[in-house]
A = this chain, B = another copy of it.
Amino acid sequence: MSNYNFEPKDLNFEAKVYDSFSRQRVMQSIGAQLTKVLPGKVEIQLPFRSDLTQQNNYLHAGIVTTIVDSACGYAAFSLMPEGADVLTIEFKINFLSPALAEIFIAKGQVTKPGKNITVCSGDVIGKNGDKEKIVATMLATIMTIR
């Protein structure tokens, strides 16, 4: 049902998302990179790192969550008017397969934009060479802050 051709309210949306991402220090700490910014659609990539794992050497669910939370937040942020910021109120995430892959791609996209509340969905894809599998799926609620 989503309309993937959202109109940005701020033509500077791409620079604004890159700038904010660069100030999320945790992204540098874990080695995540912003790889796509479209209106209402953002991708963040994270190469696997063994110092971010849980007890079975999978990427910890919290780190999977970290990248897709930011991807959803920035998808919402990309549609905000100038001067508005976003705040994640809450999200739910389902873990669909073990987080074991060479690289993880978090894809966030706006399901429904709103003046006060924007709902986003996100997926985390695990890639091993050419093979892809879905690792997690998120549904998030984001509030506009003026």
Residues on A lying within 8 angstroms of B by beta carbon are 1, 20-21, 23-26, 28-29, 50-55, 60-63, 65-67, 69-70, 87-97, 111-112, 116-117, 119, 121, 123, 125, 134, 137, 139, 141, 143
Contact = CB atoms under 8 A, between A and B. Distances in A.
Contact of A88 (B29, B89, B95): B95
The quantity of this chain's copies bound in the complex is 4
A89 B117 contact: yes
A24 B53 CA distance: 6
Q: Which 9 pairs, one residue from A and one from B, show the smallest C-beta to C-beta distance?
A: A62-B66, A92-B92, A90-B94, A23-B55, A26-B60, A1-B134, A29-B51, A96-B112, A20-B55
Nearest to A139: B139
Given A1-B123, A63-B26, A111 B88 contact: no
